[in-house]
A and B are shown apart, each in its own frame.
Chain A
Amino acid sequence: MSLTSVDPRTRAENSTPDRRVGRPLPRGRRGRLGARLARLSLLHVVCIVLAVGVFAGPLLYLLLQSFKTYTGFLQNSTGWPSTFTLANYAAAWSQGDFGRQLINSFIYSAVPDVITLILGVFLAFPIARGWFAHSNLWYGFFLFSGFLPGALIPLFIEAKALHVYNNMPGFLLILSLQGAGFFFFVGYLKGIPREREEAAAMDGCGYVRFILTIILPDMKPALAAFAVFGFVAQWNNLILPLVLLPNQNLWPVTRGLYGFYGGHTQNWPLIAAGTVIVAIPLVIVFAILQRYLVAGVSGGALGIGVNDAGTP
């Protein structure tokens, strides 16, 4: 299901339905159609108030504040900016170290994402094919393990003991191997016919090459959904960096922003600019890849980590 399968023509028509009233209509039907259009435009008004006012409104309000000067904000905190300035963005960028943090965030989101997906296929394939005794039992156990007690405190102790605490390779290692999404591939892989691997093996194709060159391309839709989902989840993660990365140079943007608004309480234009910097990459991801993001979510298949933002 796509959120915005936008046909610009119909959209323009929908947003100004009253324009059609002026068009000549067959006699007799005009009244009924007029009533229908009135009802339709009322529906659109309700939807616009809800979608724009309630859901997008707070985001737009924050964006607006980020263009105010600090004195402008103090004089008129809730209104339209008297002068638009980009100074807050420059200040937030230089004071908040967002440049480095954006790079960190990108590394933490992209690298483990790719490794997790590839390892996940290698883990899921033998289970999907029933190459182990009691494969289904293992699958069930893996699914159930999502309900085990929270792992945060022992993970912290373990990370210190294994020297993967407070350093980038260690953090990447933990993220890559934790692998929340591994087992959801099992269902998808079961749908790929067995003849595939039999034919490949007959032609002398090795297992690793078979997975990488035949299975991975076959799984593109599932992989894309998981990749986008995993990337966004990791980009938004606040708790793990808070616990495992005390070193400021290693902070991702979420952690950086958390520290930033502790340090600039009440300078809302500056905080707003910092927040927009953190949010913009995701808006871009959403705009380009929302099809995959929503496909994953609406199927309900990704019932993991969706509502517990940030917990490992």
Chain B
Amino acid sequence: MAQARVTVPFGTRRQARWLPFLSVALPGIGWILFGLYPSLATIFYSLTQYSGVPGTPLNFVGLSNYVNAFTKLFPALGADLKVTILYTAGVTILQNAAGLGLAFLLNRRRAAFGLYRALVFIPEIFSVIVVGAIFLLLFDPFEGPLEKMYRSLTGSTSAFFGSPHLALWLVVFVNVWMFAGYTMMIYIAGLRNIPHDIYEAGAVDGVGRWTRFRRITWPLLAPATTVNVFLTAMGSIGQYALILVLTDGQFGTRTIGMDMFTTAFGSSTQLGYGSMLAMIQFFLTLLIGGGLLLVLRRREVQL
């Protein structure tokens, strides 16, 4: 690459040579120390059975954490993977559907719609702990309003977040509720990027509503769809803070990230095995993220 080095205009020649390095030194070292290093060290710790207890040895064991996870401990890992994939698929599909629907509904210029958008967006700004408290209250199996509604509709009771059948889907719902506003905003930005004269041309040709959506809006919305699908999928694979608050990973909601957290910081601190789980989550992220990007990009070109 014959890209010419740009000269630094500041200071004497000698100062100018060192200036760029001095400028990036502190943030660069800080980022390596607390960003890059711990990230890469996960690879190393995944090869140990380090307990984290002061004075205990690292206990390097090679690949045996991985071997154990895929053989004698596979029931646990398999369950994690299944829950993670269900969670990711559920959130990605529902949050995009909700975001798109809301975008169509609320993408209007009148001031009132600005207020509606703000209300839809507001859950996004709260901590998972606030959102968690709200939904644990709403779905409280004894005192919650949704319990009363559920009982009057079905005649039976449910433990909601304590129910192995419902818990995962309720957490998915809360995740969608919390972030649908964000997805909506990206779709709205996408909708506003579609040039108006294309619709006018369509109107001249007398296209119907469905054709207009199918042939104009949906294809031209593809970049926003790519961003949204990718971000929601990546975000939900790595999600465990919300799950921790709502169910503590119990009742069939233990995603791989959740498992990593309880393995490392729960009652028994198995930092080595936890790091291995973080690595599996990383591989899963690469696999799903890479696959999605490939598919979504190709789709953008085709549309």
A-side residues, CB < 8 A to B, are: 1-7, 10-11, 14-15, 43-44, 46-48, 50-52, 54-56, 58-59, 61-62, 65, 73-74, 77-78, 119-120, 122-123, 125-127, 129-134, 145, 147-158, 174, 176-180, 182, 197-198, 200-202, 206-207, 210, 232, 235-239, 242-243, 254, 257-258, 261, 266, 268, 271-272, 274-275, 278-279, 282-283, 285-286, 290, 293-294, 297-300, 303, 306-311
Contacts and interface: CB of A to CB of B under 8 A. Distances in A.
Contacts, number: 329
A200 B10 CA distance: 9
Interface of B is mostly: helix
B188 to A, nearest CB: 7
B125 A122 contact: no
B238 interface: yes
A76 to B, nearest CB: 10
Interface of A is mostly: helix
21 contacts: A1-B185, A3-B115, A7-B111, A43-B105, A51-B120, A58-B134, A130-B3, A131-B19, A149-B278, A154-B41, A155-B38, A156-B264, A176-B30, A179-B35, A200-B9, A201-B10, A236-B127, A239-B240, A254-B129, A272-B133, A275-B129
Interface of B: 1, 3, 5-6, 8-11, 19-20, 23-24, 26-31, 33-45, 50, 52, 102, 105-106, 110-130, 133-138, 140, 142-145, 148, 177-179, 181-182, 185-186, 188-189, 192, 224, 227, 231-232, 234-236, 238-242, 244-245, 257, 260-261, 264-265, 271, 274-275, 278-279, 281-282, 285-286, 289
B30 to A, nearest CB: 3
Contacts of A202: 9
Interface centre among A5, A46, A51, A271 (most CB of B within 10 A): A51
Contact of A174 (B24, B34, B115, B182): B34
Given A14-B110, A50-B116, A258 B245 contact: yes
Contact of B264 (A43, A44, A153): A153
B34 A155 contact: yes
Contact of A307 (B148, B235, B271): B235
A15 B20 CA distance: 57
A103 B256 CA distance: 34
A196 B256 CA distance: 50
A6 B10 contact: no
A150 B260 contact: yes
Contacts of B111: 4-7, 10-11, 14
B58 to A, nearest CB: 10
B35 A298 contact: no
Interface centre among A152, A290, A307 (most CB of B within 10 A): A307
Contacts of B114: 2-6
Given A73-B143, A149-B43, A258-B245, A59 B134 contact: yes
A120 B286 CA distance: 27
Nearest to A73: B143
